[in-house]
Amino acid sequence: MQTLTPAVFWAQRHGEIYLRVEISDAKSLDISVQENILHFRGQGHGAKGENEYEFSLEFLKPVKPEIKHKSTQRQVNITVRKQEHCWWDRLTMQEKKPLFLAPDFDRWLDESDAEMELKEKEEKINKLSIESRIPKDPYLGLKKGYLFMYNLVQFLGFSWIFVNMTVRLFILGQDSFYDTFHTIADVMYFCQMLAVIEVINPALGLVKTGMMPAFIQVTGRNFILFVIIGSLEEMQNKPVVFFVFYLWSAIEIFRYPFYMLACIDTEWKTLTWLRYTIWMPLYPLGVLAEAVAVIQSIPIFDESKFLSIRLPEAMGSFLSFSYVLQLYLLLMFLGLFFNFRHLYKLRRRKFRTKKRKAN
């Protein structure tokens, strides 16, 4: 039986070297580090069939003599610890890479990603250490039950709205645009009034999300619902009401079940992707529909003088509420920018974390 060199793949972290030797069903393994040189010898099935394989690697910098290795049906995994926590420019002392050596792209990270991974591990260890010293919340189960029920009620409410509007759209076509408010308003009033709880929850520490994004969304939606649409009969028959309500509900039927599963420490990957992706087209479209509703209401407020402020005769007759609406349009798009940036950061953080865990 001849002795051959196996294919070897490597990756590193600041404190460790990972080697993957492509030998299946390895046996009679002899792996050691002497004078900073790794010696490998073993029998198994490699690129040249069933043979005896061996190789040596002189590391770029000092490593600890203790090594860990694990043989599987497909390969041999070796972990070598560095003497110092630092990043190496290459693996071996010789500048020219051995022909049998290649990067292990399944585990490969560049230096900045490795530093971030190390920082996340340290933060996780610190968090576990802190949590172990903090007494467990005796009301944790009660809090999760309350949040689960809240999200369930909201999910059912917005699901009813979405399904009802979808069915009516297929049956009545464009005619369903004009009576959306009279058909859906009661349930939408209930859901949006209940949504005020989403501003209260972070203030009480029941959820870890910030209070400001929830405040912007809930306040903006309730202003559109109660002031722009609910207080003006002329607005209630306009098609824009259909688009506002439909876009709101299309976002929420994915958001609330995601939070429900989070309450019971469960994740459904498809739902997670939808929750962090579907809002990207729907949220700006929803704000655009709200802006159209505000613009269409301005002539009505001017004509009816509703919510306008009567001024002294010397200054004029009325201070029209339309000025407030014009200012609100500006604030609406500032809120869109703020919330979009916040949600996009959440999405990047979520999927970057999932990608690292997968690696």
Cite the active site residues. Answer: 283, 290
Which backbone phi and psi does 303 adopt, to 5 degrees? -75, -40
Are 305 and 322 within 8 A, CB to CB? no
Sign of CA dihedral 298, 227, 341, 274: negative
**C-alpha of 67 from chain center:** 38
Are 184 and 165 within 8 A, CB to CB? yes
Task: Count Cβ neighbours within 10 Å for each residue of 47-83 and write b for 16 or more, e otherwise.
Answer: eeeebebebebebbeebeeebebebeeebbbbebebe
CA-based nearest residue to 252, from 217, 210, 211: 217
Q: How many CA atoms lie within 13 A of 141 on its CB side?
A: 1
Type of residue numbered 294: V
- Distance from the first to the final alpha carbon of the chain: 37
The answer for residues whose C-beta is within 8 angstroms of residue 138's C-beta and 6 or more apart is none
Q: What burial class does residue 108 get, using C-beta atoms within 10 Å of its C-beta: 0-12 exposed, 13-18 middle, 19+ buried?
A: middle
Pairing type for strands 49-58 and 3-4 reads parallel
Tokens of 248: 């709101």
